[in-house]
Amino acid sequence: MAEEILTPSQHTCKSCGNVFTGLYCNQCGEKVIEPKDRSMLRTQMYYLFHSGMVRSLVVDRVVKEGLSLEGFTMMYDAKTTGLAKLLMVIFVLLASLPLSLIFRKKNRYFTDHVALSVELACYNMFVNAILLSGVLWVLNKIFRWSGSGLGDYLNDTTFTIIFISTNLYFIYRATGCCCFL
C-alpha cells in the first residue's frame, strides 16, 4: 500500500486511523495533542489560580538569563519530570519522621512509618490533588456564575485547611486510634 501524504493541517487519528483536518477527529472525537498541550509550564502560567505570579517569575527569569520562552519551557519540562519523582520520595521519608515520633509508644519499625507515608502520599495525590482540586474548581465556577461572592473564599488558605484536615483524618483512620500519643 502506498502511504498517504498529509498536509501540515491534516492529522491521522491514533485511535481509529481516520485522516482529518482540525483539532478533533470527525469519526471518534479524539483530540490532537500538540507539543504545547504537554507543557507543565504552560499549565502553571495560564490555567491555575497562581498563574499571574508564575508568569511574572518566568518573565523575570527569562529576561535575566537571556533565554527564549521556548528554551526555558524545554528546560523546565525536562527538570520537572525528574524532580517531581524525587520530591515524592523526599516527602515520604520526611513524613515518616514525625509519624515515628507521634507513634513512638507503639514500638513500630521505621519501615512501618515509611509504608504509612507511602499510603499518605498516594492518598494526597488522589484525594487532595485530583478529586479536591476538581471539586473546588467546579464550586468556584458555580459561585462565580451565581454572583454570590462565595468564590472569593476558595483560595490557598481554604485549600490548606482542607488539605491538613483530610491528612489528619487519613492518619486517624489508618491508625485506628483517637489519641496520637
3-class SS letters over 29-61: CCECCCHHHHCHHHHHHHCCCCHHHHHHHHHHH
Residues 63-88 as b/e (b if ≥16 CB within 10 A, e otherwise) read eeeeeeeeebbeebeeeeeeeeeeee
Q: What pTM does this model have?
A: 0.47
Asked whether residue 31 falls in the same domain as residue 62, the answer is yes
Asked whether residue 94 falls in the same domain as residue 133, the answer is yes
Question: Is residue 109 domain-resident?
Answer: yes
pLDDT in tens, the chain (181 residues): 444 554 557 888 877 888 888 878 888 887 777 766 666 677 777 776 677 888 888 888 888 888 888 888 888 877 887 788 888 888 888 888 887 887 777 777 888 888 888 888 888 888 877 888 788 778 878 887 887 777 677 777 887 888 888 888 887 877 765 444 3
Short-list 102, 110, 95, 89, CA closest to 177: 102
On the CB side of 151, CA atoms within 13 Å amount to 14
Asked whether residue 62 falls in the same domain as residue 89, the answer is no
Question: Is residue 104 domain-resident?
Answer: yes
Asked whether residue 52 falls in the same domain as residue 90, the answer is no
The number of distinct structural domains making up the chain is 2
Asked whether residue 168 falls in the same domain as residue 110, the answer is yes
The residue assigned the cell 501524504 is 5
**Bridge partner residues of 31 (DSSP):** 24
Asked whether residue 61 falls in the same domain as residue 91, the answer is no
What's the domain range around 49?
11-66
Asked whether residue 57 falls in the same domain as residue 99, the answer is no
Using the 3D structure, point to which of 23, 39, 66 is the last residue of a domain. Answer: 66
* C-alpha–C-alpha distance, residues 50 and 43, integer Å: 11
Question: Is residue 73 domain-resident?
Answer: no
Grid coordinates given for 154: 476558595
Question: Is residue 78 domain-resident?
Answer: no
Question: Is residue 136 domain-resident?
Answer: yes
Asked whether residue 61 falls in the same domain as residue 101, the answer is no
Asked whether residue 102 falls in the same domain as residue 148, the answer is yes
DSSP state of 96: H
Whether the CB-CB separation of 170 and 120 falls below 8 Å is answered with yes
Asked whether residue 146 falls in the same domain as residue 93, the answer is yes
* C-alpha–C-alpha distance, residues 68 and 66, integer Å: 7
The residue assigned the cell 488558605 is 157
Asked whether residue 62 falls in the same domain as residue 104, the answer is no
Question: Is residue 119 domain-resident?
Answer: yes
Question: Is residue 74 domain-resident?
Answer: no
